[in-house]
Structure 1
Amino acid sequence: MVRMITHNLLACHAKGCTSNNFPLRFKDVAVELRDADFNADFLRGFLPRLEWPALVNAARELGDTSLPAEQPEMVDDDFLKKVHHVLLEIHVEEGAMVCPNCSHVYPISNGIPNMLLAEHEIG
């Protein structure tokens, strides 16, 4: 499933695409919201691993403006619930992710991203 928690880790790996290849941009997506169990400890532990500006921009691409531009130093449950919603409850079901550098398109079908490259695209 393409959730924001996954998207925040994905970069383009096409041949010769080694800079400005993250984050992948969403294009023509269909989004579904699904409830997920809230786990504050998991989120606190995961926050340092996030590329915060990439997460905020991707969430905005999908129509969610609940996250602040800057990650706050003081983390309360209200903030964690917003992060939880963006990371774990927004699912991209259809569409594509596009590399901002080389414009390679990674299609998303039935919630599954196709990150495979053709042989001539492997570097």
Structure 2
Amino acid sequence: MKLLTHNMLTSKCLKNVVSGYPLQISINSPEDVKVQEVDFNPEFIARIIPKVDWDVLCKTAEEVGHKGDLPATLDQDYETNEEFLKMAHHVLLEVEVMSGELVCPETGRRFPVTDGIPNMLLNEDEV
């Protein structure tokens, strides 16, 4: 699961959950996270950044050990700063959680991540 995907997931469909965001990532070891190179597309990154919760992305990247030099706040000129766009590209699209769990911050409900795919299916009594 790419960190871009994680940034957009929520568990608010669970019964009695108001926000369900952000889901916490629980991994057992650094080997549960891998980096796969993806072609850099600066236009895509510049367009997707306004849709990303930047604070959550930075916190998550730090938790999985891949924050690097990513700044804690967005610069005004991020759209034209290629160095920044490359750092954002790396964290958003190249860092992948391969196994672990996503944890609802309100209920503690755990959703498994296997082979990079989060299983967010719910039981009938949870809806």
Under a length normalisation based on structure 2, what TM-score does the superposition of the two structures give?
0.91
List, as ranges, runs of 4+ consecutive aligned residues in structure 1 with deviation greater than 3 Å: none
Bigger relative contact order, structure 1 or 2, given CA contacts below 8 A and separation 6+? 1
The residue aligned with 1:10 is 9
Which structure 1 segments of 5+ residues have no match? none
Deviates more, 1:32-41 or 1:57-66: 57-66
Answer 1 or 2: which has greater helix percent: 2
| d(CA) in 2 for partners of 1:7, 1:58 | 9
Q: Please tell me the residue identity of whatever aligns with 2:47.
A: G
| d(CA) in 1 for partners of 2:116, 2:84 | 26
Which structure 2 segments of 5+ residues have no match? none
Deviations 1:29-76 (A, max 9, x none): 510110000000001111111111111111111112232111111210
The residue aligned with 1:58 is 60
Aligned length: 120
| d(CA) in 1 for partners of 2:60, 2:104 | 13
Matched, 1:121 2:89: no
Answer 1 or 2: which has greater strand percent: 1
Query: Quick one: percent identity of the two aligned structures?
Result: 38
Under a length normalisation based on structure 1, what TM-score does the superposition of the two structures give?
0.93
